[in-house]
Amino acid sequence: MPIIEVRNLSKTYAGGTTALSDVSLDIHESEILALLGPNGAGKTTFISIVCGLVTPSGGEVRVGGHDIVRDYRAARSLIGLVPQEISIEMFETVMNTVRFSRGLYGRKPDDAYLEKLLRDLSLYDKRDARLMELSGGMKRRVLIAKALSHQPRVLFLDEPTAGVDVNLRRDTWAVVRRLRDQGVTVILTTHYLEEAEEMADRIGIIDKGRLMLVRDKRDLMHEFGRKRLVVELVEPLITLPADLRELGLVLSEDGQHLSYEYDTRADRSGIARLFATLARHGIAVRDLETRESSLEDVFLRLLGEAA
Amino acid sequence: MNWRAVRTIFAHEMARFWRTPWESLASPVVSTVLYFVVFGAAIGGRIESVEGISYGAFIVPGLIMLTVLQQSISNASFGIFFPKFVGTMYEILAAPISFFEIVLGYVGAAALKSIIIAAVIYLTALFFVDLPIQHPFWAAGFLVLTAFSFSLFGFLMGIWAKDWQQLQFIPMMVVTPLVFLGGAFYSASMLPPFWQDVAKLNPVLYLVSGFRWAFFGQADVPVAASLVAVAVFLGLGMAAVWFIFRTGWRLRN
């Protein structure tokens, strides 16, 4: 059974803006799902509904088999949320704020667990420091610690690395992977396609409140991805023979490289024909390089197709 | 019931109270002393007694009521407005807590703070005047019910307020004038007949009168009317809380 089941979820705000429209989705235990989409696509609304911050206009969501409205206590106790903004009480200490979060979820005090959690997030040395004394990166980790204080099975991360430096981003990724390995299901929204590409097992793309697709990352890359083959020549070419141009090859300005883009899904990539033609013209090859489309390419292509 | 969450919110709010002892406790003591100096010494010198009670003692119940109303409203409204303001409200709303439990945590803490301050004012007043309480059970009852009712009112204001200005508007512009005009420092019977009738439209008069009756056995209005007034405040507050509970007004979009 999926840990989260979303059926026909929709949200129209009082002002008339439709933020989500008929979204259905299953999220499986111990996976990392990245939700991608441009600003205002409905990602944060989706998270806010599942976490209980926003009331849905229609549809149904179950977390661990519990309906988020009728059985909200059981559903919410399974969820941890790391919000997009750094929202903390600046005068509180790290340990107290994490204890407070655990208490809100009705869990028994367990300082041994909380100390371990702070150690895992490299916050233990700062446990008695006031939040106002911490760096931006540490404050973000405190938010993660608060979200994990009650040992949830599902963790929502809304733009977890927005505006943070590369090192902290890498640290956050490591924490998320470790959580996944411990059995926690992670749902993250991000603007950084690199982040989704690096971390996610599955990727969902939301645009204009609609879930356009949800796929395994590798399948998505394979299905929508294209590859580029770059051929380095021994001798530069001045002009490209017509039959090579017809194959779709492009000659670089210095005449030293030929590039060829092909669809990984196609039955025939055309590479064999390409090399046969090169051989027929007596064009010698020094080196080859292939590059797969990035998720960014796939994302832009999908949004472009939808527009 | 998620009692642990209620206790967590309650303890969190009380910790804020103890973290700032000067603002929490010393300032009401200083205010009380000032009221005694201004009203007790300056005016009390001209008014020896009101309805057989020394003026210094007479103003104490009104003074306690004034502080309880102000503190209940400001503590409870600040308690819930602060997480809204700093953005930590998400944590409360995402937790497995009912709205009733949230109210119980915040309002319970705000009411207890007011009751502690009321006790401090009473003890401070004992340094100035002889102040036996004729009906201690009723005094405690009026105090607790008023503290809860107005904490509930403050909580609702904290949810309603969108900025600090709105947060301070009603306590400053409505509640404080009503308390001053509600017989906190005088008996309504001292007013001309027309103004006595006007004063009876002021709901705070009933609270002050009932509380003063518990001290001295004398009241501006029947005690039953005071009890009804407290019950009405409490009922209105609970009805408003129920509305927010059903609709998520100003909390959940």
ipTM computed for the complex: 0.83
Paired tokens of A111: 């300082």
Q: Residue B31: inside a domain, yes or no? A: yes
pLDDT digits (tens, 9 = 90+) for B120-149: 889 888 888 888 888 999 999 989 988 998
Question: By the 8 A CB rule, do B75 and B151 touch?
Answer: yes
B252 part of a folded domain: no
Q: Tens digits of per-residue pLDDT, B77-120?
A: 988 898 888 888 889 999 999 888 999 999 999 999 999 999 98
Is residue B152 in a domain? yes
What count of other Cβ atoms lies within 10 Å of the Cβ of residue B184?
A: 25
> Measured between alpha carbons, how far apart are the two ends of chain B, in Å?
25
| Residue B252 pLDDT class (50, 70, 90 cuts) | low
Domain count, chain B: 1
Is B170 in the A-facing interface, judged by CB distances under 8 Å? no
pLDDT of the residue at A307? 59
Among the partner-chain residues B5, B11, B90, the one whose CB lies closest to the CB of A83 is B90
Which residues 47-76 of B are in CB contact (within 8 Å) with A? none
Is the confidence at residue B70, as pLDDT, over 70? yes
- The count of other CB atoms within 10 Å of the CB of residue B27 is 13
- Of all residues in chain B, the one with the smallest CA distance to A57 is B253
Share of chain B above pLDDT 70, in %: 96
Ramachandran area for residue A91 (φ above 0: left; ψ -120 to 50: alpha; else beta)? alpha
Say which residue, B41 or B8, is predicted with more confidence.
B8
* Pairwise CA distance, residues A145 & A117, whole Å: 7
Q: Is the pLDDT of residue B231 over 90?
A: no
Walking along chain A (307 residues) 10 residues at a time, the average pLDDT comes out as 92 87 91 87 90 90 93 93 86 92 92 90 88 86 92 90 74 84 90 79 89 84 75 88 86 88 74 86 88 70 67
Predicted pLDDT of residue A224 = 67
Residue B49 lies in a domain: yes
Per domain, the residue ranges of chain A are: 4-222, 226-292
DSSP string, B5-42: HHHHHHHHHHHHHHH-HIIIIIHHHHHHHHHIIIIIII
The whole model's pTM is what?
Answer: 0.81
Range of the domain at B237: 3-247
Q: Domain A4-222: which topology?
A: Rossmann fold (3.40.50)
Name, in order, each residue with C-beta under 8 angstroms of A275's C-beta and a sequence gap of 6 or more. Answer: A285
CATH homologous superfamily, domain A226-292 = Alpha-L RNA-binding motif (3.30.70.1560)
* Average pLDDT score over residue span B49-72: 84
Report the gap between the CA of B65 and the closest CA in chain A (Å): 31
pLDDT at B42 over 80: no
Work out the pLDDT band at B50, boundaries 50, 70, 90.
confident
Residues in chain A: 307
Q: CA of A289 to nearest chain B CA: how many angstroms apart?
A: 49
